[in-house]
A and B are shown apart, each in its own frame.
Chain A
Amino acid sequence: MSRKHYDEIKKKFGVFISTWKNRDIHLLDEMIDKEVVCYISTSKSYAIGAQHSLFGVKSFVLDIPTSDVFHHKIFNFTCRISGDEAHQYAYVVCLAANFEKNKNEALTFQFTAMLSNHWVRKATGWCITEIRMDILGHGGDLTSFTDSWYFESQKPSYYYYGKHERCINGELDSPWNRIPIAEDNELTEEELIMDTYAKYAYGNDQFAWDHVCDILTEDAMFTTAPWGPCSKRQRLEVIKLHRQKEHMWAHPMKAESILMEGDLANVKLFRMSGHRQRSHPYIFTQYNINIEHACSRMDVVFRKEDGVWKICKWNGYLGIVEIGPYSTDIYGVAGDEIK
């Protein structure tokens, strides 16, 4: 039964994100509560990002700067359901590009949004009653976005009155905290593995280190530049310290392959944004603008312990990988047609 609800929420969330491109805001009427509580980090006027109500969300969608090309893909979708309530989070990786006449190189703006939404089931179906969205990372030279949206400095600073803090709080907006005992969504083993990864990413990006701790096996080993081999404790020590240096982090992942072998699973993941290329940036041109690329890849081994998938081995390889043409599916899992 819960699978049906999970699928409904996932589909509706996909439709919500699709409006960022098609601007068909009427679609939002059936999935967002009229009195939705909404906090968006791009909101310039209010430090807390308040832009409430369905009207506020529609305004956000309509005010996204237009561009010749707009790619948007959802990663790390997680939804926990209990009765008539659900809490869901996901990353949305976006690329907007404009081409000037007779120029091969594009003006681009890349950004990654994290959304943490609360859903309530009503007579008309599931609808969002709370939206919290942070733009975790951004970059590019298409200035219409930086002109329209507010971005807090990536350099950490002490809080001051008027500072735009993150709209999502690691503890208060965690799906695992908001719905501590969730119904069985009847997910496939592959989906459960990606749920585990989603919890790992959430913990890293939101300073919710207990989430990370939960889903690593006691004997977990990590090998990632620049830290070299790390045990579970070392990994958490270095990543926690390293996390301090930036206001926002993003770890959206796409599963390239999941090979199950009993209670083990070998998973190849592509990191779809978040790792900044310091000296070898990706140059967008007419040729590659519709090619999806990752900023690094990971070979990860998951192990099932007491019915829960956990990460037991992690090898990370920083470096750009072109994956291929964008799929038409907003979750990036089906089709390979360019639209």
Chain B
Amino acid sequence: MDRRNYDEIKNSFRLFISTWKSRKPDVLDGIIDPETECYLSVVRQYVSGAQHSLFGIKDFVQKIPASDIFHTAITNFVCRGNETAAQQTACVVCRAVKNEGSKIKVFDFAANCSNHWRRTGNGWRMVEIRIDIINQGAGIEEFLDVWYFDETPARWYDSVHVACNHGEFDSPWIQYPSENDFFTDEERIEECFSQYVFGVDTISYNHCDSAIAREAMFKIDPWGVMDKRLAMESSKSNRQVDRFSTHPFIFRNIDVEGNLAHAHAYRLSGQGKSINSTYTPRNINIGRACGRWKLTFVKVDDRWKILSLIYFEGTIELGESIFMQEVV
């Protein structure tokens, strides 16, 4: 895959997400294959989340409950492939807001997406869409009426809705092991961190093993300082408890110094559910993080890996710029 193809897919994905706000489903005709396979965790009727075809995905877009304000931010974007096919993942952080007199109602959610793309004579098209939507605080009841959220304890039972994303089958790193050779160091570092959180969120810790340096040290409250082994094993334990997990992030800075890089990243969702009462007209358009990471990366055999990770849980207001602007 070259930069041009990568950028085309990135732009098309951005266009797809923009329809969640604009409700202009015709835009999807140029992005999504008419016979696309589509699995959405919010589909109530089918445990697999099946809602296939371009018609199915348009229906999903049009039925997103209406709101007065709808913010989205695309994070963790990864795309790997070749000249004809690509696998792409991302997390979309969303905030829907309804004004009800003096009251503000908010529904925060995060969508973990895995999409497969094929190049056609008319450009890249999505031929497989998989989206798990994670409820991050339901203040607008319509979302719970329209969408299905399987929030039962983590165990299989008849009629359980399994996750639509699967770490082994839908991984860009497994489907296309070669790194994008046109990436800058900064992009490679971001992808390394995406691989780590993808591994955690999909319980595919082979991804974490690849992304973490052997001598890495983690410090995450309340668990304290951990070496690579304890960080992976404790994370596995934590993931056993939760049905879903999400770690959307944006980097504040990445400073490369030879084979080391120092960076800070914000976690935009996933650390507990937001408290609706904390939203006011003043801050409703301000993006916020629920935690931040202080990170060091090291280049090992020409691959960037996490060398140290310190996590600080706590809300931080980031401003309006993190939300996606209107796509024309």
Interface residues of A (CB under 8 A from B): 48, 156-161, 163, 165-166, 169-172, 177, 207-210, 212-213, 226-227, 233, 236-238, 240-245, 247
Contacts and interface: CB of A to CB of B under 8 A. Distances in A.
A242 B169 contact: no
Interface in B216-270: 222-224, 228-230, 232-241
B177 interface: no
25 contacts: A156-B154, A156-B241, A157-B241, A158-B237, A159-B223, A160-B223, A161-B222, A163-B237, A166-B233, A171-B206, A171-B209, A172-B228, A172-B229, A209-B203, A210-B204, A212-B168, A236-B169, A237-B163, A237-B166, A238-B156, A241-B156, A241-B163, A243-B240, A244-B240, A244-B241
B166 A236 contact: yes
Interface in B149-205: 153-156, 158, 160, 162-163, 166-169, 174, 203-205
A161 B221 CA distance: 10
Contacts of B222: 160-161
Contact of A209 (B153, B167, B209, B239): B167
A213 B237 CA distance: 21
Given A160-B223, A236-B169, 5 more contacts: A48-B230, A165-B233, A169-B232, A171-B232, A237-B163
A160 to B, nearest CB: 7
In terms of DSSP, what is the predominant structure of the interface of chain A?
Answer: loop
Shortest 8 CB-CB contacts between residues of A and residues of B? A159-B234, A245-B155, A156-B240, A242-B156, A244-B154, A171-B209, A237-B162, A210-B206
Nearest to A211: B206
A227 B160 CA distance: 11
Interface of B: 153-156, 158, 160, 162-163, 166-169, 174, 203-206, 208-209, 222-224, 228-230, 232-241
A169 B205 CA distance: 10
Contacts of A242: 155-156
Contacts of A159: 223, 234-235, 237-238
B267 to A, nearest CB: 17
A157 B209 contact: no
Contacts of B156: 226-227, 238, 241-242, 245
A221 B305 CA distance: 37
Contacts of A227: 156
Given A161-B222, A209-B204, A242-B156, A172 B232 contact: yes
Contacts of A212: 168
